A and B are shown apart, each in its own frame.
Chain A
């Protein structure tokens, strides 16, 4: 039934709508009727309407088609029907751009222009001027000058308007029509007045004096036409604006007087002009703002719109002057016309206080999707200035911007938002993180390449990180590999060096499809100390470079243990050193190379430095601490020695070691003199036993040996040269497994685990621990390697747990351990250790117990 109705409706429409589904060829065929002997003016008018309709719909006519139609049309001059005649004029105007030889109708039009039929004359002038070129214009000049001063307004206006158009092509000719235009300006007809003023100003605008005279005369003459007054206001405002002090200009009074004109059009024009004067002061602004304020409560949308649009502009330069209108603007923020509401809100945002921002933003968010892009840009710009004015509000505003960014919108609009966010980020560091994340989210599916490129440029460091992240994805999920390779290949053309380098590296690594490589270089990133690596590479390049560079010789970064340290260390400043192993290791290696006795020993790269250990009780005569520095084949004992006796000077201070079998001392550095309260350092270098089992545990006895000289407590000078040998027994230095192991983080434990095949397994009952967290703590500290995948955190109330540990054995051998813990009487432990070197795995598995 509905379908039937629709069909019927369409039928009905088709029968009544002669313009539906018009075919150009059919219409042109119909146009043959123009050549009939007796012209049927109704039929021909309809055909002509159809042709004009087709042209209006954008149908294109070829030159031949147009010329043929044009010539056929000229036959219609025979008809006396006024509508048809007027339609012919329209046809001439429309086809004159396409058809050839259009000047053929000049005489017909000239006849109509000067003829007795008043209805034709104005339109004929306008048609004629569209087909004439400058050479023919000379011949027509006489008629046109006459037409300007014709008593018929339609003729006069037509001639003036055409003269105005002609100024761009035949300016010199039109200048000769000044006196006629001057006469026309006194016409009773408002439109003639308006057009005449337009032409006069255009002719004289280069002559400032003439313009001043013109305005001076007309400002007093009370023009009847509001359009003409509006035009005069624009001319006067230009003159006023050139003055240093606009208020002193005689025409400023004219502008102000126009604020009291009876036409709203003129009042607005005057207010707009005053407000836009460059050197206007707030005091002179007030009358103009007052009239706009009145307009704000008008019932006419266009008037409200005009007023609030202008106030919005003033708010940028003179926000204080607009605050008087705040109440009126508040009423407009709920206006049904969204454009008015938006302008009102953005004006208030510019003039309002910080406290009102949240409310206004809420209001605007409720309809932002309904307004056009232009207005969204206005809103965005208002937000931009707000953010700069009230940095504390950045979170509210940024949130709003990000919502806008997700909406539909054109390039200009999105660019404005992105611009604003970028500005905010640059001005306000607090907003940086949120801003960047919004931008990143945006470019994910940004359709505007130019904008995406701009944001990406800003995000260069982020881009580099993104490349790394992509590579990680590829390593984790092999089925994404091919897609990611394509992405990485594109990234190799990035404008940023860092991004390109990373992309190239990852692309090459991933294309090898070698699991070990991807594991080592992508999943588990570089664990060497960067500072040390840089140094090592530097010295490598200086050397002969015969040997390949051994990265294992570079000290590793010890994973920084999470959480606070259990035992507070001896002195606070040193604690920081421990927390910064990178700096510490590098500086220690430096220190060692400065000591000649040690520099000659081929120590190699530092593996790890252990925590400082006290070898004396606190508050004793001599305070001695030791720090073990582990190298591949040696370890260095660094003794910090301090003499706390003011009346003693110690000389030839050294520490005598009592080494277990297998350990050999190869060097020592003594302290020649140790005055009161001046800490000094002594060293001893010991080789590791070849057998790692022997090396993994042991006790080193130590004694401080020195020569004592009594001295003056005040000067520190010894009483005599004679001294006596003395010895002070220190506590033992323990060597344990954890000295050989360094915890490293393995972000992807499972992958590394699968890579190593050799494993050792052992089961223990841990009597020392009564709970799983305690056992985890003991194991971790005993082995000294790093818990992975957060397995050091045992969920509460669980009776079993798996602890994953990763580390490196002295010499750079990887060690991974899985400790399965089950709570029974004590804690049962099944320890599985994997390492490329079986003896190391064996050592570690057997070490616990």
Chain B
């Protein structure tokens, strides 16, 4: 492992997780059956990961032999895991894609409530980003184009009103909290 060259493989990702601010899993995908054979190992890892990362917002951590890159917003935490020898910037590209896709899907409203309302589309987005540990798509626009189809359902006018109201509500809430 030490000083060795990286294997030319497409299998880069070991997992992707979205957690809430209590460290509970909202969505998770693992592609590594060696380190994470069952849900038990996954949850233990997530618990550890969350305690190590929820306070320090520093983007990257090495944990249990994996490199984990992460990003958080309001009450959501996004994680992408890869091998500890792998190129961190590849993982960062995937993390950005995951976060920006979710952000587009939730119309920049990256928080738990909005995510739960759009759970189906977020699931599809995660499916579009990675297929069995291979990076399928790393461009958030492409991902959203492939999954964000809900727009057709809601009439344009209604959508904007709802959107405006939602944004106003959010901004009020945050200004009060601050």
State the A residues within 8 Å of B (CB).
Answer: 16-19, 45-46, 48-49, 52-53, 56-58, 82-83, 86-87, 90, 93, 119, 122-123, 126, 153-154, 157-158, 161-162, 164-165, 190-191, 194-195, 198, 201-202, 205, 227, 230-231, 234-235, 237-238, 241, 264-265, 268-269, 272-273, 276-278, 300-303, 305-306, 309, 313, 316-317, 336-340, 370, 372-375
| Cross-chain contact A338 with B42 (CB below 8 angstroms) | no
Nearest-Cβ distance from residue B85 to partner chain A, whole angstroms: 9
Instruction: Give A201's nearest chain B residue, CB to CB.
Output: B8
| Cross-chain contact B56 with A336 (CB below 8 angstroms) | yes
Q: A195-B134, A302-B59 are in contact. List 7 more A-B contacts (CB 8 A).
A: A17-B113, A49-B123, A53-B119, A191-B138, A191-B139, A265-B87, A306-B88
Among candidates A87, A305, A317, residue contacting B88 with C-beta atoms closer than 8 Å = A305
Among candidates B87, B147, B152, residue contacting A230 with C-beta atoms closer than 8 Å = B87
In the complex, chain B residues 52-88 whose Cβ is within 8 Å of any chain A Cβ = 52, 56, 58-65, 69, 84, 87-88
| Cross-chain contact B137 with A16 (CB below 8 angstroms) | no
Q: A198-B10, A234-B8, A273-B5 are in contact. Are A161 and B131 (CB under 8 A)?
A: yes
Show 8 residue pairs from A and B whose CB-CB distance is below 8 angstroms, ordered by the A residue. Answer: A191-B135, A227-B138, A268-B89, A272-B6, A276-B5, A277-B5, A339-B62, A372-B62
Annotate B8-52 by CB proximity to A: 1 below 8 A, 0 otherwise. Answer: 111000000000000001011100000000010011000000001
| Cross-chain contact A83 with B149 (CB below 8 angstroms) | yes
Q: Does B4 contact A (CB under 8 A)?
A: yes
| Cross-chain contact A234 with B127 (CB below 8 angstroms) | no
B3 proximity list for chain A (CB < 8 A): 276, 278, 313, 316-317
Q: Does B165 contact A (CB under 8 A)?
A: no
Chain B contributes a number of interface residues (CB within 8 A of A) equal to: 59
Nearest-Cβ distance from residue A303 to partner chain B, whole angstroms: 7
Q: A265-B89, A306-B88, A374-B63 are in contact. Are A238 and B5 (CB under 8 A)?
A: yes
| Cross-chain contact B137 with A157 (CB below 8 angstroms) | yes
A53 proximity list for chain B (CB < 8 A): 27, 119
CA distance A264 to B92 in the complex (A): 11
Q: Does B158 contact A (CB under 8 A)?
A: no
Q: Interface on chain B toward A: helix, strand, loop, or mixed SS?
A: mixed
CA distance A301 to B89 in the complex (A): 10
**Highest count of chain A CB atoms <10 Å: which of B64, B84, B89, B113:** B89
| Cross-chain contact B89 with A374 (CB below 8 angstroms) | no
Among candidates B8, B10, B150, residue contacting A164 with C-beta atoms closer than 8 Å = B10
Among candidates A49, A52, A234, A339, residue contacting B60 with C-beta atoms closer than 8 Å = A339
Nearest-Cβ distance from residue A722 to partner chain B, whole angstroms: 95
CA distance A265 to B3 in the complex (A): 19
Among candidates B64, B120, B146, residue contacting A49 with C-beta atoms closer than 8 Å = B120
| Cross-chain contact B87 with A48 (CB below 8 angstroms) | no
A276 proximity list for chain B (CB < 8 A): 3-6
**Highest count of chain B CB atoms <10 Å: which of A45, A277, A339:** A339
B2 proximity list for chain A (CB < 8 A): 313, 316
| Cross-chain contact A337 with B65 (CB below 8 angstroms) | no
In the complex, chain B residues 154-174 whose Cβ is within 8 Å of any chain A Cβ = none
CA distance A306 to B25 in the complex (A): 27
List 4 tightest A-B contacts by C-beta distance, closest first: A58-B39, A337-B58, A198-B10, A301-B59
CA distance A164 to B9 in the complex (A): 10
B152 proximity list for chain A (CB < 8 A): 82
Nearest-Cβ distance from residue B152 to partner chain A, whole angstroms: 8
Instruction: Give A162's nearest chain B residue, CB to CB.
Output: B131
B42 proximity list for chain A (CB < 8 A): 58
Nearest-Cβ distance from residue B147 to partner chain A, whole angstroms: 7
B102 proximity list for chain A (CB < 8 A): none
Nearest-Cβ distance from residue A268 to partner chain B, whole angstroms: 6
CA distance A277 to B56 in the complex (A): 35
A49 proximity list for chain B (CB < 8 A): 119-120, 123
Among candidates B7, B29, B88, B138, residue contacting A302 with C-beta atoms closer than 8 Å = B88
| Cross-chain contact A161 with B127 (CB below 8 angstroms) | no
Q: A83-B120, A83-B124 are in contact. Are A56 and B27 (CB under 8 A)?
A: yes
Instruction: Give B62's nearest chain A residue, CB to CB.
Output: A374
Q: Does B121 contact A (CB under 8 A)?
A: yes
Nearest-Cβ distance from residue B71 to partner chain A, whole angstroms: 10
In the complex, chain B residues 122-146 whose Cβ is within 8 Å of any chain A Cβ = 123-124, 127-128, 131-132, 134-139, 142, 146
Nearest-Cβ distance from residue B140 to partner chain A, whole angstroms: 13
B65 proximity list for chain A (CB < 8 A): 374
Q: A234-B8, A238-B8 are in contact. Are A52 and B123 (CB under 8 A)?
A: yes
| Cross-chain contact A154 with B146 (CB below 8 angstroms) | yes
**Highest count of chain A CB atoms <10 Å: which of B3, B91, B113, B117:** B3
A316 proximity list for chain B (CB < 8 A): 2-3
CA distance A647 to B89 in the complex (A): 103
| Cross-chain contact A161 with B6 (CB below 8 angstroms) | no
Q: A234-B5, A234-B8 are in contact. Are A82 and B149 (CB under 8 A)?
A: yes
A165 proximity list for chain B (CB < 8 A): 131-132, 134
B90 proximity list for chain A (CB < 8 A): 227, 230, 265
Nearest-Cβ distance from residue A190 to partner chain B, whole angstroms: 8
Q: A53-B119, A306-B89, A337-B60 are in contact. Are A234 and B137 (CB under 8 A)?
A: no
